[in-house]
Chains A and B, each alone.
Chain A
Amino acid sequence: GNSVTQMEGPVTLSEEAFLTINCTYTATGYPSLFWYVQYPGEGLQLLLKATKADDKGSNKGFEATYRKETTSFHLEKGSVQVSDSAVYFCALSRTDKLIFGTGTRLQVFP
């Protein structure tokens, strides 16, 4: 079946630290992969996406590369800010729905 596994949180970092949130997936075929972010009290916002192997999605300093050989889509940022504190969801697409990981809470302290 299709599934997404994310590293458990919370991830706690100091401002300007390097961030990695791991995401691996199981899927039939070649799904598109996404990272969504949910700020406190809000809905989900699309952060970045990749639609085929070796694609790199990027936005707001965040990056993730679609690795078919390791079935991974890890999220990275070189220097986090306090404003990046949120819950991050990795997801894969099927025609009829998105399948989400359980989410990883990121807390960034000054």
Chain B
Amino acid sequence: EAGVTQSPTHLIKTRGQQATLRCSPISGHTSVYWYQQALGLGLQFLLWYDEGEERNRGNFPPRFSGRQFPNYSSELNVNALELEDSALYLCASSDQGPLSYEQYFGPGTRLTVT
């Protein structure tokens, strides 16, 4: 069974640009979560999508947004990039079934803002 995949692996942008990160969940999983892992700050919850809807977001400004497509893949968009947005962005998926709350993570996209 294929795991969670993310693209691109690395992304380099300049301040003020926009970044788009992509995630494909495990087949059969309907929920996608996004987390930011910034240096020294641990893992912070960004967004949760389920069945195409945004269900919850963490304490991040509105320039962090995303969507979930009918095939349950997801996109994270970061507008007006700032230097402190440099981080590893991790996507996770779950099936919200009887073993819900168990999330499976992708390898991440490392975003560097210069």
Which of A's residues lie within 8 Å of B, judged by CB?
A: 31-32, 34, 36, 42-46, 49, 51, 89, 93-103
> Does residue B64 face the partner (Cβ distance < 8 Å to A)?
no
Q: How far is B48's CA from A36's CA once the two chains are assembled, in angstroms?
A: 19
- Could you say which residues of chain A place their CB within 8 Å of the CB of B58? 97
Does B42 contact A101, Cβ atoms closer than 8 Å?
yes
Chain B interface extent, by class? 20 to 34
Given A43-B90, A43-B108, are A32 and B45 also a contact pair (CB < 8 Å)?
A: no
- Could you say which residues of chain A place their CB within 8 Å of the CB of B55? 96
- Could you say which residues of chain B place their CB within 8 Å of the CB of A51? 101
| Number of A-B residue pairs having CB atoms within 8 Å of each other in the complex | 54
Q: How far is B56's CA from A98's CA once the two chains are assembled, in angstroms?
A: 12
User: Which of A32, A42, A102 touches B107 (beta carbons < 8 Å)?
Assistant: A42
| Distance to closest chain B CB from A68 (angstroms) | 17
| Distance to closest chain B CB from A94 (angstroms) | 8
User: Which of B33, B48, B104, B108 touches A46 (beta carbons < 8 Å)?
Assistant: B104
| Distance to closest chain B CB from A55 (angstroms) | 13
5 A-B pairs besides A43-B106, A46-B105 with CB distance below 8 A are A43-B4, A44-B43, A97-B33, A97-B58, A103-B43
Does B42 contact A32, Cβ atoms closer than 8 Å?
no
- Could you say which residues of chain B place their CB within 8 Å of the CB of A93? 101-102
| Distance to closest chain A CB from B104 (angstroms) | 7
How would residues 73 to 114 of chain B score, 1 for a CB under 8 Å from any chain A CB and 0 otherwise? Answer: 000000000000000001010000000111111111000000
